[in-house]
């Protein structure tokens, strides 16, 4: 008996996911613009590093920067494509479909996130391949474990996107400023583009309070084949990443649901 609702839920999610991919395909120029923006960002990063980084540390530094850049891509696209998209749809008056449908709102939001971040993954992979073309082969060690770390990291970020979406429904454009501050704050504290050791001691302490820091650290350590992470042991970082990845979506949706109820009560929806 328990398998029937599970199959129905999975079939419903697949249908929602297909619908989201169809919606994305209606705006090919937006997809291409996003794709080429990622490639342009990689080219700029590579040119700067080629000009200013010493040859002796070039390969390791390129790996640290580019693998950090991949996680930064998912963070940025989660904040703006998943988190702030509902606020834009509220302004445009196109949000009604989410509330008129009898389907699960959680699955609908999840399908939006998975479809959007799948394209992010394609763009990120293309960016890494382009970087290798420009500056030579990047070190790639334990790709399976690195992929697992990335998947749990993205799952945790989806929860963050749900939370931002709920706040955006309630507070509108005011959340844009908070999202910008969050993005740039995490850009520094999570050391996407440089080793954590370059952070001042006080900021290193703050970095250890942010779960995403451990994703960046573990992902780069595994991909680069380094002996140990900078922040904690690899085993401890994996536990934090897995717990964050599993807890992120339900916690994020809980924040979304609470803010949605308040927004409805205040007549904002």
pLDDT tens digits, one per residue of 40-64: 888 887 777 666 655 544 677 788 8
Q: Which H helix or E strand runs over 183?
A: helix 174-189
Q: Determine contact, residues 171/258, Cβ cutoff 8 Å.
A: no
Q: Determine contact, residues 70/128, Cβ cutoff 8 Å.
A: yes
Q: Helix count (H) and strand count (E) of the chain?
A: 11, 0
Give the model's pLDDT for residue 4: 52
- Distances in Å between the Cα of 231 and the Cα atoms of 44, 66, 204, 234, 237 are 29, 19, 9, 9, 8
Rounded Cα distance, 212 and 152, in Å:
11
Give the model's pLDDT for residue 269: 62
User: Which string of DSSP letters, residue by residue, matches 148-177?
Assistant: HHHHHHHHHHHHHHHHHHHHHHHHTTHHHH
Give the model's pLDDT for residue 163: 93
Give the model's pLDDT for residue 156: 95
- Nearest CA among 20, 17, 71 for reference residue 220: 71
Rounded Cα distance, 89 and 69, in Å:
28
Rounded Cα distance, 37 and 63, in Å:
20
Q: Which residues of the chain have pLDDT under 70?
A: 1-4, 49-58, 86-103, 268-269
Rounded Cα distance, 205 and 22, in Å:
44
Q: Which H helix or E strand runs over 2?
A: none
Give the model's pLDDT for residue 93: 53
Rounded Cα distance, 30 and 21, in Å:
13
Q: Determine contact, residues 94/85, Cβ cutoff 8 Å.
A: no
Looking at the chain, the whole-number percentage of residues with pLDDT higher than 90 is 36
Give the model's pLDDT for residue 56: 46
């Amino acid at each position: 008996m328990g398998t029937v609702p599970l199959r129905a839920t999975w079939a419903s999610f697949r249908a929602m996911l297909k619908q989201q991919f169809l919606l994305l395909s209606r705006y090919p120029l937006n997809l291409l613009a996003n794709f080429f923006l990622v490639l342009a960002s990689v080219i700029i990063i590579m040119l700067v590093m080629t000009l200013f980084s010493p040859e002796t540390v070039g390969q390791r530094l390129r790996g640290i920067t580019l693998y950090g850049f991949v996680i930064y891509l998912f963070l940025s696209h989660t904040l703006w494509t998943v988190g702030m998209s509902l606020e834009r749809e509220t302004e445009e008056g196109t949000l009604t479909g989410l509330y008129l449908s009898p389907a699960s709102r959680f699955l609908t939001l999840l399908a939006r996130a998975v479809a959007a971040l799948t394209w992010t993954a394609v763009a990120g992979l293309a960016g890494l391949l382009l970087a290798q073309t420009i500056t030579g082969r990047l070190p790639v060690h334990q790709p399976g474990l690195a992929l697992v770390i990335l998947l749990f990291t993205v799952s945790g970020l989806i929860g963050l996107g749900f939370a931002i979406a709920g706040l955006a429904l309630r507070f509108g454009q005011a959340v844009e400023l908070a999202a910008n501050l969050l993005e740039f704050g995490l850009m520094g504290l999570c050391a996407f583009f440089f080793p954590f050791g370059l952070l001042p001691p006080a900021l290193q302490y703050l970095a250890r309070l942010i779960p995403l820091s451990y994703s960046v650290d573990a992902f780069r350590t595994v991909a680069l084949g380094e002996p140990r992470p900078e922040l904690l042991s690899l085993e401890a970082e994996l536990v934090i990443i897995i717990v964050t990845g599993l807890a992120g979506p339900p916690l994020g949706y809980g924040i979304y649901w609470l803010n949605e109820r308040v927004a409805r009560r205040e007549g904002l929806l």
